[in-house]
Chain A
């Protein structure tokens, strides 16, 4: 199993979480041959074995697990390169599929390019989700509807331009060579910012030709607009193609170009296009060393643009978007309303932002802080003393016996619940997959029914069937024990001491983890236990890398994953430093084409 024997601490290495399915622990008793056999293949693949489990090369199974020192589970003739390994392991960098601008990036880009504040992409057909994230390369096709929306937005954006002199920094209307050179300069600067690299002579010429043709048919303004629409519709704007530049020490890879490096930084930290400083740095080869990249990353983190961009990662990792669809049974929760739901969103948003930017930025704080940001209705829900009245939000101290960090906030508890009751299964799965990075297999067909909630029987007793029935036990022993600890919180996240007329027993068991197996009681203890776990501390960088890369990690990525995990550990779990660490690894500075 993936998180099997712990690596010896002195090696400074840990098992990669690549394809770390917990299936071996889960599927033994499941009557689902399809899932089981595919799971085995997957697991063996992750471990660098043949599909039937036989070793690809001589050596122990553990030696073939990606991420372990001496692993031979990389594809291709890798060369020593992972600095986290002290040069002992064979590593490569994973392939980087071409990305399209996310809708958020599109909005930010047109804001940078044109000063536009209409955020047209907000109404585009939504970016589809794969796994937890909506920026996965694989899903970034352009269906007809989106193509139309791109076209409409481009025309609208161009037509919204009224102040040409302001946009172009010169007078395109000027007669003769002055006007023409104004347009030429605009092509150079606008094109460079939109394509995030200097235009080729050919590209430049094509735009100028378009301008001339349009201007001749109408006027200067329309000529300029025609270029804007064309650039906004170019695949070189909408996609972020990479080709690499200098030779790399990694197999089949190249070092990214300076401009590609700038684009990667802008996408990651700002969800936008590079600013002038980044472009300037790229032009003068000032993104060549890790220190230079780091300096830029830190500069960018200090810019307000980083806040909303990075908030998106936390929202998706923590599963906030599903709160929108959560429904509650008014018979049980008459106070539930869209306003309360909106308040929960706002609480989460403020809390994450505060931990990240105002407090110490540490994962432990995110998971265990005994404060949050509440308005009066939320304070009522939490049973807390409201710091302010009405719809204002204020930092509010919480009972640390009842609440600790993000997991015990209403946004999480209300999302992962049933309309009438809590859901130890949904909540347990949340912990197992999002915090521990252990993906659970799909539930089998013909799920036996649990008895309905009835007065006098606790959820725990009802769910005992999960572990009594061997068909369920394989997986539910990995799920329910994590959810039971949150039984003090009802369907909307209010704290309760009784459920179904029975006193709540919020004890739970953590199993099949690297370092936190054991008994615990209640949300705060679970939160603190998770916060103390190296497995959780290693999981967060893995989730961040999936988001940053727009794909799942593979065996090839094991050295990078380890390097980022080590850096995160070294920073004492600082989430701001994690963003920096995402830029300080071989995958960030190398490019390997996906085939």
Chain B
């Protein structure tokens, strides 16, 4: 499967069910009036350390830590000196397990195990993702902790959104093919009566009938449950509705399909999506594969965005309380210890610089890939908003103050990119509000309004 394949209406008509989600792309004519804006949020763990050489305003480079991203400097806004104001409010455990669920939700936790609201990406997905096969694609590299309160992405209070850390599984979800072969096809599959014939014009859709059946049983069960139990049943119902939404897209090409998307400027057909080449699978839990998994996940992500399988994505590197020892860089000290032991494990900060250099290189790789996709009058990078978020300011103290986040891509001109700003303690909620606004979601607050002062004017064009 090394060939590039054209995602055209022809492909759709010829291969419904034979292609995975990607077959759902061109629901309607791809030549759209405006190019869609996409959102990707990254979580890079542990924040900055005291004495870190952060980017400074007016510099010709982003500085020694982030210099690999210099070629994209004009597309980046460095947001210095933010404060996660909500973090120590309400219930919660230690700072790691507060900061992560608070980071993108901007509100108190429901209880010490669960975030209290939806994260930014999920709010955006709700607004712009309904026409995509996947409302959001949630990826990770080497999750070590599986505790709910180590998760940054939430579709609502108490509703964690899991991330996939195995690129081969992501591939199946995004590009998988073939019904009944054990592959992972969220919705395209239909069953031929014998289970062996090519899935063309099937008479029966096992998925839809099961969906209807399950929905009926949910209604019957729901009324008999207490409110506490109902919430988990409702989460299941929401998942089924999402499958239903996609089945409807598939069966009714004239409604609701993604419009626009990367396209071939000459023909107006959807862009040629290059199916990423994965090679044979490796142990995704093994630290030595961290760089490989990172790159494959980015390849998968760019392809999914390019093919318009999704417009919203999250990308989580490890966990807060970082357990990666960055052995491939020769660091061999756990990220969490690096974050805490400025004075001895890493007296000069050289190891941490090496680590964040590496992260900066990954972003440069990702930005470069986006930039290589022509779209409208520019490239995909111009129309994609990328948020680099991290849960701490100064890492040793687990500080909720002086956080450094970054915005990349200028949201089709919405942002005044190419600057380093000192936000003097502005609430991270205000970043969430500003980004939400860039996607046409009105409002002057995000999360708990008590921690909001409105959008950040000086980064808006």
Q: Do A and B come from one complex?
A: yes
A interface, CB within 8 angstroms of B: 34, 38, 95, 97-98, 100, 118, 123, 125-130, 134, 137-152, 154-156, 158-160, 203, 206-207, 210, 213-214, 217-219, 221-222, 225-226, 229-230, 232-236, 238-239, 241, 243, 322, 324-325, 327, 329-331, 338, 418-420, 442-443, 445-447, 449-452, 593-595
CB distance from A279 to the nearest CB of B (A): 20
- Chain B interface, >50% SS class: loop
A151 touching B158 in the complex, CB below 8 Å, given contacts A144-B242, A222-B193, A329-B325: no
Residues B233 and A324 in contact, CB atoms below 8 Å apart: no
CA distance A594 to B227 in the complex (A): 8
9 A–B pairs (Cβ distance < 8 Å), ordered by A: A98-B229, A129-B148, A143-B160, A143-B239, A146-B239, A152-B184, A442-B95, A452-B343, A593-B225
Total number of residue pairs linking A and B with CB closer than 8 Å: 249
A219 surroundings in chain B (CB, below 8 A)? 193-194
Is B235's CB within 8 Å of the partner chain A? Answer: yes
A225 touching B206 in the complex, CB below 8 Å, given contacts A147-B242, A420-B333: yes
B231 surroundings in chain A (CB, below 8 A)? 141
A230 touching B135 in the complex, CB below 8 Å, given contacts A97-B228, A147-B236, A214-B209: no
Question: Apart from A140-B232, A213-B209, A233-B211, what are 4 other A-B pairs with CB-CB below 8 Å?
Answer: A128-B148, A145-B162, A419-B334, A593-B225
Residues B238 and A144 in contact, CB atoms below 8 Å apart: yes
CB distance from B79 to the nearest CB of A (A): 22
B95 surroundings in chain A (CB, below 8 A)? 442, 445
B interface, CB within 8 angstroms of A: 88, 91, 93-95, 97, 113-114, 135, 138, 142-148, 151, 155, 158-162, 164, 166, 169, 173, 179-187, 189, 191, 193-195, 203-204, 206-207, 209-211, 213-214, 216-218, 221, 224-229, 231-233, 235-236, 238-240, 242-243, 283, 285-287, 323-325, 327, 332-334, 337, 340-345, 396-399
CA distance A127 to B162 in the complex (A): 9
A143 touching B204 in the complex, CB below 8 Å, given contacts A151-B186, A329-B325, A329-B333: no
Closest 7 CB pairs of A and B: A147-B239, A452-B344, A442-B94, A125-B162, A159-B180, A230-B213, A98-B229
A447 touching B396 in the complex, CB below 8 Å, given contacts A125-B162, A330-B327: yes
Residues B239 and A130 in contact, CB atoms below 8 Å apart: no
Residue in chain B with minimal CB distance to A126: B146
CA distance A95 to B226 in the complex (A): 11
A152 surroundings in chain B (CB, below 8 A)? 183-186, 189
Residue in chain A with minimal CB distance to B113: A130
CA distance A443 to B93 in the complex (A): 9
Residues B146 and A128 in contact, CB atoms below 8 Å apart: yes
CA distance A221 to B193 in the complex (A): 7
CB distance from A9 to the nearest CB of B (A): 36
Residues A118 and B182 in contact, CB atoms below 8 Å apart: yes
Residues A143 and B210 in contact, CB atoms below 8 Å apart: no
Contact partner of A418 (CB less than 8 A), chosen from B144, B166, B337, is: B337
Residue in chain B with minimal CB distance to A127: B146
CA distance A222 to B228 in the complex (A): 37
A595 surroundings in chain B (CB, below 8 A)? 226-228
Residues B179 and A155 in contact, CB atoms below 8 Å apart: yes
CB distance from B166 to the nearest CB of A (A): 8
Contact partner of B229 (CB less than 8 A), chosen from A97, A130, A222, is: A97
Interface centre among A144, A214, A229, A230 (most CB of B within 10 A): A144
B193 surroundings in chain A (CB, below 8 A)? 218-219, 221-222
Residues A142 and B151 in contact, CB atoms below 8 Å apart: no
Residues B232 and A123 in contact, CB atoms below 8 Å apart: no
Residues B207 and A151 in contact, CB atoms below 8 Å apart: yes
Residues B214 and A218 in contact, CB atoms below 8 Å apart: no
Residue in chain B with minimal CB distance to A331: B332
Residues A419 and B325 in contact, CB atoms below 8 Å apart: yes
Contact partner of A151 (CB less than 8 A), chosen from B146, B151, B228, B243, is: B243
Residue in chain A with minimal CB distance to B326: A327
A206 touching B213 in the complex, CB below 8 Å, given contacts A151-B243, A327-B323, A594-B226: yes
Residues B207 and A445 in contact, CB atoms below 8 Å apart: no
Residues B191 and A222 in contact, CB atoms below 8 Å apart: yes
CB distance from B140 to the nearest CB of A (A): 11
Residues A449 and B332 in contact, CB atoms below 8 Å apart: no
Residue in chain A with minimal CB distance to B342: A449
Residues B243 and A594 in contact, CB atoms below 8 Å apart: no
CA distance A86 to B283 in the complex (A): 55
CA distance A232 to B239 in the complex (A): 15
Residue in chain B with minimal CB distance to A220: B193
Interface centre among B113, B147, B162, B203 (most CB of A within 10 A): B162
A98 touching B147 in the complex, CB below 8 Å, given contacts A229-B206, A233-B214, A445-B399: no
Residues B210 and A233 in contact, CB atoms below 8 Å apart: yes
CA distance A131 to B293 in the complex (A): 28
A325 surroundings in chain B (CB, below 8 A)? 142, 144, 285, 287, 323
Contact partner of A139 (CB less than 8 A), chosen from B93, B113, B135, B399, is: B113
CB distance from B101 to the nearest CB of A (A): 12
A206 touching B239 in the complex, CB below 8 Å, given contacts A218-B193, A418-B334: no
A148 touching B206 in the complex, CB below 8 Å, given contacts A447-B396, A449-B342: no
CA distance A219 to B342 in the complex (A): 69
Residues B147 and A130 in contact, CB atoms below 8 Å apart: yes
